[in-house]
Amino acid sequence: MGHLHELYQVWSWLPHFRAIAETEHLGAAGALLRVSAPAMSRALQQLETALGIKLFDRRGRTLVLNDAGTDLLTTVRTAMRSIDDGIQRVAASQQLIHVKVAAPGPYYSAVILPAYARVRDSWPSLRFELVEPPAAIPAALARGDLDICLHEHEVTGPEIVVTPVSELQKTVACARSHPAARRKALALDDLAAFEFVAPPPDGNGVRNDGWPVAAARRVGLTVATMQLGVEAVISGAYLAVLPLPVVTSTSLVPIPVRNLTIPPTTIYASHRRPLSTQGDVSSRVVELFRTELGERRNRASATPRTTIARK
């Protein structure tokens, strides 16, 4: 495959191959490229004929990559990323740079948008597309469906770089209309009179919102995302454990609780491992976020405020 003619022969079939490999379905792959399923099938057949090797195992209507196909997919992804990066570098002065970012819902208005506004001051051509985090973050990053994902728990993968970008203090919070907001101070036992909204428990029965496992509480509402949790707390019916910037950016109020320690949460940023250290957009955006969020945290820590009472 070292001659230009031979590479040219298979070049036009590689996007078809990648789409089929990532969807494992001819129809879904065709929808991505806006061509028919028979055309996708023909392109795959021509590619396999040219290479002299099968790239998929057929299981009914599903196409599953074999070892040769997996190896080629890695190569094709890397090559396409290299071309895309080169195009961005060449045209950087003439076009906008679009980055697709995912983060938990509550972090958008409290963390992402303020940081983005300041990052844009130093990078005017930068544009974000904000989306919900996918179920399989490493796979979405590897495919290029997502450029950066911010999250509270480390998400790792062989092609993924994970960077801690900030620490956020968490607090028990409620709406101003909630009975707990009218109390000057609460003990841990006092919280038994109120219900919490929280994410679903994991396999170990732990609801990963920062509430201490050893402390008892009543969860009255389970939500798939904490954006729904914030809306439930705003309604005035529930308490929740939320990052302090989320609380202060809404109409919610933090509740001091005696003898309760809620540790800060670390915000991580995951992105694809860059092909080179020069001109990698995602790495530069993550570093700008890390700098901006760190400066915001320093400014916030210098401002006196009431937070959770500690032992």
Pick the CATH number of 170-263 from 3.40.190.290, 3.60.20.10, 3.30.470.20, 3.40.50.880: 3.40.190.290
Query: Among 100, 97, 141, which Cα is nearest to 123's?
Result: 97
| Domain spans of the chain, in order of start | 4-89, 96-164+266-301, 170-263
The structure's pTM equals: 0.65
C-beta atoms surrounding 253 within 10 Å: 17
Instruction: With beta carbons less than 8 A apart as the criterion, state whether 195 and 220 touch.
Output: yes
pLDDT at 293: 77
Residue bearing tokens 């929280």:
198
In angstroms, how far is the first alpha carbon of the chain from the final one? 68
- Could you tell me the CATH superfamily of domain 96-164+266-301? Periplasmic binding protein-like II (3.40.190.10)
Consecutive H or E run containing 170: strand 170-175
pLDDT at 1: 46
176 versus 139: the higher-pLDDT residue is: 176
Instruction: With beta carbons less than 8 A apart as the criterion, state whether 48 and 54 touch.
Output: yes
Instruction: With beta carbons less than 8 A apart as the criterion, state whether 148 and 282 touch.
Output: yes
Here the tokens at position 19 are: 């789409």
pLDDT at 173: 95
Does the pLDDT of residue 34 top 80, yes or no?
A: yes
Summarize the confidence of residues 218-226 as an average pLDDT: 92
Instruction: With beta carbons less than 8 A apart as the criterion, state whether 288 and 123 touch.
Output: yes
> pLDDT by residue (tens digit) across 235-265?
999 999 999 888 988 889 999 898 888 989 8
> pLDDT by residue (tens digit) across 198-211?
999 988 888 989 99
- Determine the length of the chain: 311
Do 4-89 and 96-164+266-301 have matching folds? Answer: no
Where does 109-267 have alpha helices with state H?
113-122, 137-143, 226-234, 244-248
pLDDT at 278: 61
CATH 1.10.357.10 fits 4-89, yes or no: no
Instruction: With beta carbons less than 8 A apart as the criterion, state whether 201 and 253 touch.
Output: no
